Amino acid sequence: MSCHRPEGAGAAGAPRFEQDYNPFAVMRPRAPGATPKERKNGALVKANNVAPQGVYLPNYNILTPHMRSPEYVQMSTAAAITLGVMQGRMYRCDCTRCLNLLLTYPEGCRANCAYCGLARHREAERDYADRNFIRVDWPAVPLGTVIDTVARDVAGTPFHRMCISMITHPRSDEDTVTVLKAWTDRIDPAAIPVSILSNPTTMTRADVQRLRDLGADIFTVALDAATPEIFDRTRGKGVQSPHTWAKYWEILMDARDIFGREKFGAHIIIGMGETEHEALGLVQRLVDLGGHSHMFCFFPERGSLMDHLPATPRDQWRRVQLGRYLIDYRGARVERMSFDGEGRVVDYGVPRDELETVIEEGVAFRTSGCPGKFREDVSACDRPYGDSPPSDIASFPFQPSKGDRRGIRRQLRVVERKG
Ligand code: SF4
């Protein structure tokens, strides 16, 4: 078993465009269909009421047990392999450095984001704990098992960070606090720092403060969409989902006040219809506020309302990845960059030598996220193949090799430096 799906599994039937970017006009989600009453709100799982026994590996042929946070959490396949609760190998990776714990309920996430495998409309076809999310299965594990396993050898753990990922559910705020407390009661947050991937829609400023007081290190907001129009179309009214751009920014600004510089940030998905200028403008805004951006390449998740759309062309992705790194870590500014009529980067506004050094170093093309223990610009959250198949890596979960960097240069259409 490996932590990635067979090639093309998520993108089956997705059209390929000749353009080197995904324009707004093309990236329109499907409308969500109706869910039969007998499948709404996890009704089947609750009616079957199968008692969970230990670790649950998603299996579409058996009855999904009735599991709830805070007793149960889900984690990525990569985290489950690294924790040792699942067998498997990861292509060119020994482990993941981030233990992501996703809250879980039979009712699932009550939002309906168009690009997401966990979205509410999927209750029509699949129980929540069995859904694929960022291209992989998410096993469900008793929280006690997770904490016992890590607490046994904190000094020797491969994990550089733990992240509690909230979903949109009435219990989510309270259960995030319970999971955080249970973790910090046993594991020193100075040894393994904790990040919160928040769900602003149900949160108040007091919730943000409470998580900081309980020892959370970094607070991030999954803005995902780079513009208000794309936000509304993919995770707001456009798909019968409860989120609003204004509420996300309200909680992001609360996080800035409460967590402080370098301790807050936002997720952005590239290739959902924004221009490169818009994406890098948002990156600059976050840096000017004192935060960071964590970037993902759009991939058409199987079963989502955008699974018929093209993955982000690598040219667009590489250009934005490079621009984001220069703004976040090298003092570049979007106002000094040049863009063409379609909003594509044509010049980064930094000396040629510096650009060469950054491309050659390769860190700009790794996954981005909360830092681990290697260096500030290397993310603990390495999400192996979360946004691409391993045959065409978008975010590298490891240091790109010389051959990888040659491929990146081809995608960027930058000639290799001689000597
Ligand atoms: S709120 Fe998060 S988990 Fe829920 S559907 Fe949206 S992106 Fe997915």
pTM over 0.85: yes
Cα separation values, 292 from 174, 268, 299, Å: 26, 10, 22
User: What is the 409 CA–ligand 1 centroid distance (Å)?
Assistant: 34
Which range among 2-6, 21-25, 346-350 shows the weakest confidence by mean pLDDT?
2-6
For residue 418, what pLDDT is reported? 58
For residue 1, what pLDDT is reported? 31
The rounded radius of gyration (Å) of the Cα atoms in the chain is 20
- pLDDT, tens only, 56-93: 999 877 899 999 999 999 999 999 999 999 888 878 87
Residue 298: pLDDT over 60: yes
The DSSP secondary-structure symbol of 106 reads T
Residue among 101, 102, 113 to mutate when testing ligand 1 (max atoms within 8 A of CB): 113
User: What is the 285 CA–ligand 1 centroid distance (Å)?
Assistant: 24
Residue among 169, 235, 306 to mutate when testing ligand 1 (max atoms within 8 A of CB): 235
- pLDDT, tens only, 157-194: 999 999 999 999 999 999 999 999 999 999 999 999 99
Give the confidence band of 18 by pLDDT, cuts at 50, 70, 90: low
Residue among 109, 132, 134 to mutate when testing ligand 1 (max atoms within 8 A of CB): 109
For residue 374, what pLDDT is reported? 86
Residue among 118, 243, 247 to mutate when testing ligand 1 (max atoms within 8 A of CB): 118
Question: Would you say 180 and 194 are in contact if contact means Cβ atoms under 8 Å apart?
Answer: yes
**What average pLDDT is seen over the chain?**
91
- Return the residue whose CA atom lies nearest to atom 2 of ligand 1: 167
Relative to the CA of 115, which ligand 1 atom is closest? 7
Q: Compute the distance between CA of residue 381 and CA of residue 181 in angstroms, rounded to an integer.
A: 22
**Exposure on the CB side of residue 111, measured as CA atoms within 13 A:** 25
User: How many other CB atoms are there within 10 angstroms of residue 219's CB atom?
Assistant: 25
For residue 5, what pLDDT is reported? 35
Q: Which helix (H) or strand (E) holds 264?
A: strand 264-270
Relative to the CA of 243, which ligand 1 atom is closest? 1
The distance between the two most distant Cα atoms of the chain, rounded to a whole number of Å, is: 68
Residue 4: pLDDT over 70: no
User: What is the 23 CA–ligand 1 centroid distance (Å)?
Assistant: 23
Q: Compute the distance between CA of residue 211 and CA of residue 107 in angstroms, rounded to an integer.
A: 24
- Return the residue whose CA atom lies nearest to atom 5 of ligand 1: 119
Q: Which residues line ligand 1 (CB under 6 A)?
A: 109, 111, 113, 116, 118-119, 167-168, 199, 235
Mean per-residue pLDDT for 89-113?
Answer: 90
Residue 379: pLDDT over 60: yes
For residue 12, what pLDDT is reported? 42
User: What is the 57 CA–ligand 1 centroid distance (Å)?
Assistant: 21
Instruction: Write the burial class of residue 347 (CB in 10 Å: 0-12 exposed, 13-18 middle, 19+ buried).
Output: exposed
For residue 122, what pLDDT is reported? 93
- pLDDT, tens only, 110-157: 999 999 999 999 999 999 999 988 888 999 999 999 999 999 999 999
Q: Compute the distance between CA of residue 161 and CA of residue 41 in angstroms, rounded to an integer.
A: 32
Mean per-residue pLDDT for 286-297?
Answer: 97
For residue 146, what pLDDT is reported? 97
Relative to the CA of 110, which ligand 1 atom is closest? 4
User: Strand 140-142 vs strand 72-74: parallel, antiparallel, or unpaired?
Assistant: antiparallel
User: What is the 115 CA–ligand 1 centroid distance (Å)?
Assistant: 9
